């Protein structure tokens, strides 16, 4: 049962990160404003969007899902910190994505150890 729950979470995260990464890469005006407020330049928006899309695709493959989940956890940790210290507003969405990504990473680690 846990195997199917992990797969479902991976699929949901894939959809979420494909949407978020695509918004960043396509130049969505809201994303442009958010990254302007962060102050690292628009290259960072492209970098983050690329990581999110690559991570989403990595979640689809059982062999790469663990590493993709670790990478996405780190990206979301940065997003939580950005909301807490720079952007303001709620950090709930990135915190939830962080928690789910970390859970997938843990589950894939456990499956790898058992194999």
pLDDT in tens, 18-74: 999 999 999 999 999 999 999 999 999 999 999 999 999 999 998 999 999 999 999
pLDDT of 68: 98
pLDDT of 115: 76
Give CA separation, 114 vs 2, 24, 104, 107, in Å.
Answer: 14, 37, 15, 11
Question: How far separated are the first and last CA of the chain, in Å rounded?
Answer: 17
Mean model confidence pLDDT for the chain: 96
pLDDT of 3: 87
Evaluate if residue 75 carries a pLDDT over 80.
yes
Question: For tokens 């990595």, what's the residue?
Answer: 58
Give CA separation, 35 vs 19, 30, 51, in Å.
Answer: 17, 9, 15
Check if the beta carbon of residue 80 is closer than 8 Å to that of residue 72.
Answer: no
Helix residue spans in 26-91 (DSSP H) = 29-38, 42-59, 65-82
What tens digit of pLDDT does each residue of 79-113 get?
999 999 999 999 999 999 999 999 999 999 998 88
């Amino acid at each position: 049962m846990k195997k199917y729950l992990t797969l479902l979470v991976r699929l949901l995260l894939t959809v979420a990160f494909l949407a978020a990464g695509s918004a960043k890469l396509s130049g969505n005006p809201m994303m442009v404003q958010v990254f302007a407020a962060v102050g690292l330049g628009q290259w960072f928006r492209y970098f983050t969007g690329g990581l999110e899309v690559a991570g989403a695709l990595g979640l689809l493959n059982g062999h790469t899902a663990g590493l993709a989940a670790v990478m996405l956890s780190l990206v979301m940790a940065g997003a939580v910190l950005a909301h807490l210290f720079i952007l303001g507003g709620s950090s709930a969405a990135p915190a939830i994505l962080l928690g789910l990504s970390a859970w997938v990473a843990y589950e894939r680690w456990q499956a790898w150890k058992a194999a």
